[in-house]
Amino acid sequence: MSRSKPNILITGTPGTGKSTTAVALSEATGFRHINIGDFAKEKNLHEGWDDKLQCHILNEDLVLDELEDIMGGGGNIVDHHGSDWFPERWFDRVVVLQTENSILYDRLTKRGYSSAKLENNLQCEIFDILLEEAKESYKKEIVVAMKSNTVDDMNSNVATITEWARSWSSTN
Ligand SMILES: Nc1ncnc2c1ncn2[C@@H]1O[C@H](COP(=O)(O)OP(=O)(O)O)[C@@H](O)[C@H]1O
């Protein structure tokens, strides 16, 4: 697929800072930020509510259809807590954010997560589930894990990805 600007996927366990990082990255690069949950809500691409996980159930096929042309144009930052159902060809960089458990615990508690949901997400982070999923779904040279414990980490991650996006755009 030829595009003049790269597409970047930001993934990781809920609370690791995907949205905050994606917003800052969007400001730095001028790329479009697409939070999959918000995008699906806006366009009505859900198919019900998961009582156990306390979240909307995405209709993934509808999300993929709706995003196909947008992704073809490049210059998108997609933010989602999963990576295995997007077409591999969509992304030039897959960033997996990672947060220390005690810090993640505090962030998710502040969010008011139920204890089951909290436990589920902490386990997900301890076992590197999202990193493994990304490595299984994309070429390993485009997958990069980044620490997201502090604001300094975030600023440094945004600077690193912005620099990478500039050099990608100038060589493609
Ligand atoms: N690297 C970081 N350092 C400090 N606070 C952070 C960092 N990343 C995220 N946060 C804070 O943690 C909370 C969750 O971040 P958010 O971006 O919503 O995570 P996600 O999109 O992965 O669920 C927010 O209050 C945000 O300000």
State the chain's mean pLDDT as an integer: 95
- What pTM was estimated for this model as a whole? 0.96
Share of the chain above pLDDT 90, in %: 91
Q: With a threshold of 0.90, tell me whether the complex ipTM lies above it.
A: yes
Is residue 148 a contact partner of residue 157, using CB atoms and an 8 Å limit? yes
pLDDT for the residue 5: 96
Reduced 3-state DSSP string for the chain: CCCCCCEEEEECCCCCCHHHHHHHHHHHHCCEEEEHHHHHHHCCCEEEEECCCCEEEECHHHHHHHHHHHHHCCCEEEECCCCCCCCHHHCCEEEEEECCHHHHHHHHHHCCCCHHHHHHHHHHHHCCHHHHHHHHHCCHHHEEEEECCCHHHHHHHHHHHHHHHHHHHHHC
Can you read off the two tokens belonging to residue 35?
A: 């939070």
Atom 16 in ligand 1: residue holding the nearest Cα: 17
Domains of the chain: 7-164 (3.40.50.300)
Ligand 1 centroid–CA 136 distance in Å is 25
- pLDDT tens for 118-134 read 999 999 999 999 999 99
> What is the atom index within ligand 1 of the atom nearest the CA of 13?
22
| Residue 9's pLDDT band (cuts 50, 70, 90) | very high
Ligand 1 centroid–CA 169 distance in Å is 28
Pocket test for ligand 1, best of 107, 120, 124, 149 (most atoms within 8 A of CB): 107
Q: Which residues lie with the beta carbon below 6 Å from any ligand 1 atom?
A: 12, 14-20, 107, 148, 150-151, 153-154
